[in-house]
Chains A and B, each alone.
Chain A
Amino acid sequence: GAVVSQHPSRVICKSGTSVKIECRSLDFQATTMFWYRQFPKQSLMLMATSNEGSKATYEQGVEKDKFLINHASLTLSTLTVTSAHPEDSSFYICSASRSDQPQHFGDGTRLSIL
């Protein structure tokens, strides 16, 4: 099956640090990549959708200047949490899809801001 790799899997850093998370589709070209966030005991919430070579579309309530998304190629998207604060601590998961094919999820990144 399709493989999506997400890195790093775990990040612990100080408040004010910017953190970059990578999402790679390893065996297919992903026309669209998605970024989700999941707080404890809550559902996965879509943060933004990105198509290769164009600006990401953010969901309502998600600050685009806070969560920078770059989708420079068909196999790589990055999410940068700028000036992270403790309330940004969460489980961030990416997914990738091609055309109307199902989304394939990465392993997730657990972010802890101290």
Chain B
Amino acid sequence: RKEVEQDPGPFNVPEGATVAFNCTYSNSASQSFFWYRQDCRKEPKLLMSVYSSGNEDGRFTAQLNRASQYISLLIRDSKLSDSATYLCVAILNTGFQKLVFGTGTRLLVSP
């Protein structure tokens, strides 16, 4: 079983749609969680942190459910520029911060 699992997609949505991605993690010792965005053939870029209390940044909302070991990302009013792969990341503190990446969920926003 993968440590961080995501639906690979792709999710095809029209501009303006609301879309939600889910992610589950298997290691209960995971301490922190993030969503990264990765464009094709580029390095991943930090999108936002994920907290149990929820985290909202403009059109993006992230949520963590530790009991279910489940993380979500909601994107409202999708833009064409949101098309990318969204990576769910868990951090294990093993003496250093080890990032464990999911395979990513691909989003395609069309006009």
**A32 and B96 in contact (CB under 8 A), knowing A43-B87, A43-B102, A91-B41?**
yes
Q: How far is the CB of B35 from chain A (nearest CB, A)?
A: 13
Chain A: CB-nearest residue to B5: A43
Judged by a CB distance under 8 angstroms, whether B44 is at the interface is yes
**A49 and B96 in contact (CB under 8 A), knowing A41-B103, A43-B102, A43-B103?**
yes
Judged by a CB distance under 8 angstroms, whether B98 is at the interface is yes
Chain B: CB-nearest residue to A59: B98
Chain A residues 30 to 66 lying within 8 A of chain B, measured CB to CB, are 32, 34, 41-46, 49, 51
Judged by a CB distance under 8 angstroms, whether A20 is at the interface is no
Q: Which of A11-19, A73-81, A100-108 forms contacts with chain B?
A: A100-108
Judged by a CB distance under 8 angstroms, whether B12 is at the interface is no
Verify A46–B98 contact, CB threshold 8 A: yes
Judged by a CB distance under 8 angstroms, whether A85 is at the interface is no
Chain A residues 63 to 114 lying within 8 A of chain B, measured CB to CB, are 91, 93, 95, 97, 100, 102-103, 105-108, 110
State the interface size on chain A (CB cutoff 8 A): 22
Interface size of B as a range: 10 to 19
Residues of B within 8 A of A108 (CB): 41-43
Q: List 29 A-B contacts (CB under 8 A).
A: A32-B96, A34-B99, A41-B103, A43-B2, A43-B4, A43-B87, A43-B101, A43-B102, A43-B104, A44-B87, A44-B99, A44-B101, A45-B101, A46-B98, A46-B100, A49-B98, A51-B96, A91-B41, A93-B43, A93-B44, A97-B97, A102-B46, A103-B97, A103-B99, A105-B43, A105-B44, A106-B43, A108-B41, A108-B43
Verify A105–B4 contact, CB threshold 8 A: no
**A110 and B98 in contact (CB under 8 A), knowing A43-B4, A43-B104?**
no
Residues of B within 8 A of A103 (CB): 97, 99
Judged by a CB distance under 8 angstroms, whether B45 is at the interface is yes
Chain A: CB-nearest residue to B8: A41
A108 vs B40: C-alpha distance when bound (angstroms): 12
